[in-house]
Structure 1
Amino acid sequence: MKIVCKRNDLLKGVNIVSKAVPTRTTVTILECIKIDASSDNIVMTASDTQLSIETKIDGTIEDRGIIALDAKFFSDIVKTLTSDTVTIESDSNFHTKITSGKAKFETTGRSGEDFSPLPLVPSNNPIVISQLALRESIQQTIFSIADSNDQKPMTGEQFKIEKNHLRVESLDGHRISIRNITLNEELNNNQEDYDIVISGKTLNEISKIINGGAEDMVNLYITKVPEEKKNEVTQFIKFEFDNTTVVSTLLPGGYYNIEQMFSSEYQTKVKINRKELLDCINRATLLYAIEGKKEPFVMNVTEGNMELNIRTFNSSFDENIEVEKEGMDIDIAFNPKFLNDALRVIDDEDVTLYFINPKAPCSIKDENESYIYLILPVNR
């Protein structure tokens, strides 16, 4: 195999597929990036068996072939090159030369044939969503997933597609995040309904790879499995965008019934400037730097005013913010991180908080419910 490509194109491809290289594995071929120049395109691939990524890069194929190179070593090489053009050639024994300007590396690769192909996901009837909407929906909810495999469904996000509507949900036992998106009707006029759970790792990597353009689209393809076989058959989701394809296994089993955790009733409704509240939280949590124990963040809402405070053994913080209040006064405490995570991804100038009582969850949502955050209070 012999290919010639631009250094920047090669680096971009390496950075994309490297996100699927496992940090630990007993299958050594998975520590590699496959470069496939056996046909008319240069295609790079990496996989950890649960997540597979392939991307096409521009370049000239002078001699067709396939090679697998150690991902870390190859990535480190490409990052250090300074010349515009890179030549990669390998012989039948996988001896590989990487040349760029005056620099020349030699290494021994592996057979690219040892790489398993991407799982087959039929490319028909896609769900089409803008890269901007997909990235925002992930970034505005992903912080609420759990990091413990003891709660496997919580380590992913639920994607519910019904007609021209996408609902993204996540929860970790202390909070819930929801993002509602209206899909382009013309691009999704023959769409089936889906209710799936996508790995948080996959979604995190997708949000980093896509460019986030409002006019750039992502096609999602999902393997359709009969309801009675969902726990027996592995389901996959495929993302196609630009010159990249990402295939991931879906998390098995059902998600939690989030709807039953919400209530339309409230005793107190508070409208507050988002940035003022966020800045206040950031100031208040400075106390944590000098205290071993993280005390709760207390909100005391009265007519026209929200008093916020943290009390620790050696220190205290107090601040007042003007608010618009409807309903009863309330005194309630939260983990400030959960409030911070929700507030920092909301774009609105003002946010509205809904309270039932000091023991019940607080919800933050807009009038159209394009975003909903439910946060459990803490005991004092």
Structure 2
Amino acid sequence: MKLICSKSNLLNGVQIVSKAVPNKTTMSILECILIDASLGEIKLTANDMELGIETVIEGQIVEKGIIALDAKIFLEIVRKLPDNDITIETDASFKTTITCEKAKFNIIGKSGEDFSYLPAVEKEESLVISQFTLKEVVRQTIFSISDNENNKLMTGELFDIKGDELRVVSLDGHRISIRKIKLRDHYQPKKVVVPGKTLSEVSKILPGDAQSDVLISFTEKHIVFEFDSTTVVSRLLEGEYFPIDQMLSSDYETKVKINKKELLNCIDRATLLVKEGDKKPIIIHITDETMELKINSVLGSMNEDIDIEKQGKDLMIGFNPKFLIDALRVIDDEEVELYMVNPKAPCFIKNQEESYIYLILPVNFTTVQ
């Protein structure tokens, strides 16, 4: 095999597929990136058996062929070569020569025949969504998935399609994040749970162009994302997702309208007094036109008042400040509305259309005051 392509094209392609190279594996072939130039295009592929990514890059194929190269070494070589055309040449013993200007590397590759290709997915149905929208939806929900592998479903996000609406849900036992978006077409009802790792990696490699689309296809066990010249295939998480609708309530005793930036900045300041790993709650005292935020820790105390519009009862309630910060950071509205019932019940941050809903469980603060 012999091919020539620009450093920028090659590096971009290698960086995209590297997201699917496993950190640890007993199968050394999975630590490789497959370069397949056997069918008239240069296709790069990586696959950790849960997540697979392939992308087609532009370049000149002088001699067709296929090779698997160690992903880590290959990426570092390409990254550090001069900004010029790179030539990759292999022989029958898989010796691979990579040259660029006066730099020349010789590394040993592996047979491409041993590589696990992406599963051939029979696409049952597909939906179209803009790259920008998908990237935003993931950004606005991914922070509340769980990193605890004991409950696999909590490490993923629910994609719930009904008619012309897509609802994306994540939860970790302390909070729930929900985003709803309108789709261009109507689709049959479908619920799948997509691994958080997959969504995180897709989000990183998505250019996020509002004018360009992502085609999302589902099968019984896989989800496929296709955009530009890249295809991502991932296994779905199996099992019945949590009954979210039973956890949502429209009842409230206290409703607060507040400037989002002011609230976010205030909580951010309060966390200056909280050490890493310290579980100190922020205590929010809501009265007629004021919200007072207080925090006490071994480093000191802080309190601050913010003007609010309030409906309903006065309330004192405590929260993990990080959970409030995570939700507020991804809301783009200038003002936010908080709905609360009592110090033991969840707080809802949502807009009128409920295109976003963030549910945060309060913490008991009487023992730490």
Give the TM-score normalised by structure 1: 0.94
Matched residue, 1:204: 200
1:38 maps to a residue whose letter is S
> SS state of the match for residue 183, structure 1?
strand
Does 2:201 match 1:216? no
**Alignment partners' CA distance in 2, 1:207 and 1:369:** 23
Contact kept? 1:131, 1:217, Cα under 8 Å: yes
Contact kept? 2:8, 2:83, Cα under 8 Å: no
> SS state of the match for residue 184, structure 1?
strand
What runs of 5+ residues in structure 1 fail to find an aligned partner? Answer: 226-234
Deviations 1:72-97 (A, max 9, x none): 00000000011310000001110100
**Alignment partners' CA distance in 1, 2:4 and 2:102:** 15
Matched residue, 1:261: 247
Does 2:358 match 1:362? no
Does 2:233 match 1:237? no
Report the alpha carbon displacement of residue 293 of structure 1 after superposing the two structures with TM: 3.6
**Alignment partners' CA distance in 2, 1:176 and 1:125:** 28
Equivalent runs, 1:1-380 vs 2, <5 Å: 1-123=1-123, 125-185=125-185, 189=186, 191-223=187-219, 225=220, 235-289=221-275, 293-380=278-365
Moved more, 306-315 or 45-54: 306-315
1:82 maps to a residue whose letter is P
1:267 maps to a residue whose letter is E
**Alignment partners' CA distance in 2, 1:68 and 1:292:** 43
2:112 maps to a residue whose letter is G
> SS state of the match for residue 20, structure 1?
coil
**Alignment partners' CA distance in 2, 1:314 and 1:244:** 50
> SS state of the match for residue 240, structure 1?
strand
Give the TM-score normalised by structure 2: 0.97
1:77 maps to a residue whose letter is I
Report the alpha carbon displacement of residue 124 of structure 1 after superposing the two structures with TM: 5.7
Contact kept? 2:164, 2:184, Cα under 8 Å: yes
Report the alpha carbon displacement of residue 125 of structure 1 after superposing the two structures with TM: 3.7
**Alignment partners' CA distance in 2, 1:312 and 1:95:** 61
Contact kept? 1:121, 1:221, Cα under 8 Å: no
| Sequence identity percentage | 57
Deviations 1:197-217 (A, max 9, x none): 000000000000111111110
> SS state of the match for residue 184, structure 2?
coil
Between Structure 1 and Structure 2, which shows a larger proportion of strand residues? Answer: 2
2:22 maps to a residue whose letter is P
Contact kept? 1:122, 1:221, Cα under 8 Å: no
Runs of 4 or more above 4 Å deviation = none
Matched residue, 1:230: none
Contact kept? 2:347, 2:360, Cα under 8 Å: yes
**Alignment partners' CA distance in 1, 2:124 and 2:298:** 61
1:194 maps to a residue whose letter is K
